[in-house]
Amino acid sequence: MAEFALIDRLRQRATATVLARGDVALGIGDDAALLDPPKGRQLALAVDTLVEGVHFPKGVPASAIGWKALAVNLSDLAAMGAEPAAALLALTLPSDDAGFVDEFAAGFSALADTHRVALVGGDTTRGPLAVSVTVVGYVPKGDALTRSGAAADDDLWITGTLGDAAGALALWKAGTPMLRTGSLRERLDRPSPRLGAGCALRGLATACIDVSDGFLADLGHLLAMSGVGADIDVDTLPVSAALLDAFPDLSTRRALQLSGGDDYELCFTAPAKKREAVLAALDAAATPVARVGRITVGASLRLFDLDGLPVALPPRRGYVHFSGETA
């Protein structure tokens, strides 16, 4: 297999999307791709790498790796309130494995087509399995959501449910049969970036971040960038039926929700007076959302239970990918 075989496969799959978009003046195959951004839009740019053994265990299906490598990047665009336009893929593969390549391309393309993302660049190299994706999105000028706008008394919200992917990983590590981890495992392997929700939150959210390293870790980034603190009602953190079923023990489940990674939900803040508007916007975007706390003056992050009693912060707040350890 030559260097271009995978890229050719992906290009063929992407042709319909490229043609349908209208903003791709030149796709894969030259020294660079050419894109015509719409007027009045800012470009949102992000890059994220997945490495086997660090971001996903050995044995994950190739289609899930293809899907997830794009998903984690689209989640960054969602957190900015941007709509995705194009992606560039740098793939490092240990060997010429046509089956792997076909499955990878199928997974990547399935998500790309869903969100009309045009693959406009790619580079394949030989080496230990790693995927680096760069995404380009558009957002109306001045409307982007950032991490830095949260203000005291804002509501704190979270989309979807927390802890499912971390739960799936824990079950997998414990040797639990796939049959029993089904819907949780799907959250780990094929996360759904909250793109509709991100766009719907423009003009409503004061700050936003996607939850990739764990709820407390990413909330910490948002609070630090905004220069505020937060009080969290831990019992209101949204939980899936599957997680409840698989982890009946409260403290185990809570740890997964607070510190587990790979949720790819949006954590955002909005003024309390926008509460109804937030609910309506996310209902229109078909995205479940839960109000889980409020922003406070200062830098403290505090947890409370249903009775208003303080809950200790877990010692581990999230996963630091680089070191492979939690921090």
Binding site for a copy of itself (CB under 8 A): 1-3, 25-26, 29-37, 39, 42-49, 51, 53-55, 76-77, 79-80, 82, 86, 88-90, 92, 96, 120-128, 130, 132, 134-137, 139, 141, 144, 146-148, 208-210, 225, 320-324, 327
Alpha-carbon distance 185 to 169, whole Å? 8
Of 138, 146, 91, 144, the C-alpha closest to 115 is: 138
* Smallest separation (angstroms) from a copy of itself to the CB of 248: 34
Looking at the Cβ atoms of 36 and 245, the one nearer to a copy of itself is 36
Nearest to 68 by CA among 219, 287, 261: 261
Sign of the alpha-carbon dihedral angle for 182, 184, 188, 192: positive
Whichever of 155 and 210 has its CB closer to a copy of itself, that residue is: 210
Angle value at C-alpha 44, between 208 and 132, nearest 5 degrees = 95
CB burial readout 228-259, b (16+ within 10 A) else e: bbbbbbbeebbbbebbeebbeeeeebbbbbbb
Q: Write the CB contacts of 77 (distance below 8 Å, at least 6 apart in sequence).
A: 44, 46, 83, 84, 135, 137, 193, 195, 198
201 and 254 in contact (C-beta within 8 Å)?
A: no
Residue 119 CB, shortest distance to a copy of itself, in Å, is: 11
CB of 180 to a copy of itself, least distance (A): 31
Which of 59, 142 has the CB closer to a copy of itself? 142
Phi then psi for residue 78, to 5 deg, are: -55, -45
310-316, long-range: CB < 8 A, 24+ apart: 311/234, 313/216, 314/216, 314/255, 314/258, 314/259, 316/259
* Closest distance of CB 249 from a copy of itself, Å: 31
Residue 224 pairs in a beta bridge with none
Residue 266 CB, nearest approach to a copy of itself (Å): 10
Q: Which residues of 179-204 are buried (b: 16+ CB within 10 A; e: fewer)?
A: eebeebbbbbbbbbbbbbbbbbbbeb
- CB nearer to a copy of itself: pick between 76 and 164: 76
Length of the chain, in residues: 327
- CA–CA separation, 274 and 191 (whole Å): 28
Q: Which is nearer to a copy of itself, 41 or 275 (CB)?
A: 41
Q: Among residues 137 and 293, whose Cβ is nearest to a copy of itself?
A: 137
**Identity of the residue, 105 or 239, whose beta carbon is nearer to a copy of itself in the bound complex:** 105
Minimum distance from CB of 200 to a copy of itself (Å)? Answer: 16
Cβ closest to a copy of itself, residue 90 vs residue 313: 90
Q: Which helix (H) or strand (E) holds 119?
A: strand 118-126
CB-nearer residue toward a copy of itself: 85 or 303: 85
To a copy of itself, the closest distance from the beta carbon of 302 in angstroms equals 24
What is the smallest separation between the CB atom of 208 and a copy of itself, expressed in angstroms? Answer: 8
